[in-house]
Amino acid sequence: MKSNIAILASFGAGCAIGLCGEFGSGIHDLSLYILYALILQVGLNIGRNNEVKQALTHLDMHVFAIPLATIAGTLLFSAVASILLAQWSVFDCMAVGSGLSYYSLTSVLITQLKEPSVGIQLATELGTIALLANMVREMVALFGSGLISRYFGKLAPISAAGVNSMDIILPSIIRYSGKEMIPVAIIHGIITDISVPLLVSFFCNL
């Protein structure tokens, strides 16, 4: 919860600072460096996770079907959402959905990649949509894991959590889906985490 408040506060502060002056190309370079740092963080989080090694030693090939289903389902419903959002193309909506709850990386990445083609204003708008949409997904998974598990099964909270199934939402998954779901949740989080920059970049360039 505190991290979400910090993200919103940072976003608001950035908007306020942006209104007070012109930064030219300097802000573009800064956002690029921030993007590189976020991608580096993805690799560091995966590499230093001791539970990853334990999960990898007891792999069942069926485990890989779960993150693939999560990605496919998210992209499908993101494409359907484009019918209701006439301003944005189907690929824009799929880029937003490709965040899979990783709102910090997704918003920066979309803004950075879309700016050359649509301009800074529209790119920022789409980046803001990505920030809010993926943040809402995280909050729904965090506070709704019990109901999701009850009505849709033990795997549903893992899928709903997206990349956060291996960290923030993991305690809720353990509580409502059982400890036996820990390896599944970790592998799911790793695969979806890796897919975010790849999928977002792919759809932003279409």
Give the pLDDT confidence score for residue 161 in this predicted structure.
95
Reported as a pLDDT band with limits 50, 70 and 90, residue 167 is: confident
List, for residues 51-89, the tens digit of each pLDDT value: 666 666 666 778 889 999 999 999 999 999 999 888 899
- Is the pLDDT at 43 greater than 70? The verdict is no
List, for residues 155-164, the tens digit of each pLDDT value: 999 999 999 9
Span 82-100, average pLDDT: 93
Tokens of 135: 């943040």
Give the pLDDT confidence score for residue 186 in this predicted structure.
85
Of residues 166, 144, 167, the one with CA closest to residue 156: 144
Measured N-to-C along each axis, helices 103-118 and 90-97 cross at an angle, to the nearest 10 degrees, of 160
More confident residue, 86 or 1: 86
DSSP 50: H
**Whole-number percent of the chain with pLDDT over 70:** 78
Reported as a pLDDT band with limits 50, 70 and 90, residue 24 is: low
User: Taking the CA of residue 87 as centre, how many other CA atoms within 13 Å lie in the half-sphere pointing to its CB?
Assistant: 6
- Is the pLDDT at 101 greater than 70? The verdict is yes
The helix (H) or strand (E) run that includes residue 62 is none
Q: Phi-psi category of 71—alpha, beta or left, where left has phi over 0 and alpha has psi -120 to 50?
A: alpha
Q: Phi-psi category of 178—alpha, beta or left, where left has phi over 0 and alpha has psi -120 to 50?
A: left
Span 171-180, average pLDDT: 89
Span 111-135, average pLDDT: 92
